[in-house]
Structure 1
Amino acid sequence: MRKKWYVLFTKTGEEKKLKEAIEHIFPPDEVKPLIPRRRLMEKRQGKKIEVVRTLFPGYVFINTVMTEETYRSIKLMPVSAKLLMTDLEPAEVPPEEMKPILRLTSVSDVIGFSTGIRVGTKVKIIEGPLKDFEGIIIDVDSRKGRAKVMLDILNETKKVDLGLTVIKNLEAEL
Structure 2
Amino acid sequence: MVETTQKKWYVLHTYSGYEDKVKSDLLSRAQSMGMQDYIFRVMVPEEEKVETVRGKKQEVEEKIFPGYVLVEMVMTDESWFIVRNTPNVTGFVGSHGGGSKPSPLLEEEVNRLLKSQGQPAKEDLPDYEIDETVTITDGPFEDMVGKITDVQPDKHKLYVSVDMFGRATTTELDYDQVKKFEN
TM over 0.5: yes
Are positions 1:91 and 2:103 aligned together?
yes
For structure 2, list consecutive stretches of 5 or more residues without a partner in the other structure.
121-139, 142-171, 174-183
CA distance in 2, matches of 1:50, 1:41: 4
CA contact (8 A) 2:13 2:67 kept: yes
Specify the code of the residue in structure 2 equivalent to 1:18. V
CA distance in 2, matches of 1:86, 1:73: 15
Specify the code of the residue in structure 1 equivalent to 2:45. P
Q: How does 1:80-159 map to 2 (within 5 A)?
A: 80-87=89-96, 88-107=100-119
Q: Residues 108-145 of structure 1: CA distance to partner in whole angstroms, max 9, x if unpaired?
A: 9xxxxxxxxxxxxxxxxxx76xxxxxxxxxxxxxxxxx
CA distance in 2, matches of 1:86, 1:75: 11
SS in structure 1 of the partner of residue 89 of structure 2:
coil
The counterpart of 2:71, out of the listed 52, 57, 62, is: 62
Are positions 1:41 and 2:50 aligned together?
yes
Tell me which residue corresponds to 1:5: 9
The counterpart of 2:59, out of the listed 39, 50, 55, is: 50
Q: Residues 31-58 of structure 1: CA distance to partner in whole angstroms, max 9, x if unpaired?
A: 2211111112101111101111111100
Tell me which residue corresponds to 1:19: 23
For structure 1, list consecutive stretches of 5 or more residues without a partner in the other structure.
109-126, 129-164, 167-174
Cα distance, 1:96–1:107 mapped onto 2, change above 3 Å: closer
CA contact (8 A) 2:14 2:68 kept: yes
Task: Quote how far apart the aligned CAs of 1:29 are.
Answer: 4.7
Specify the code of the residue in structure 2 equivalent to 1:9. H
SS in structure 1 of the partner of residue 79 of structure 2:
helix
Superposed CA RMSD in Å reads 2.3
Specify the code of the residue in structure 2 equivalent to 1:17. K
Tell me which residue corresponds to 2:127: none
Specify the code of the residue in structure 2 equivalent to 1:75. R
Cα distance, 1:29–1:52 mapped onto 2, change above 3 Å: farther
Task: Quote how far apart the aligned CAs of 1:107 are.
Answer: 4.2
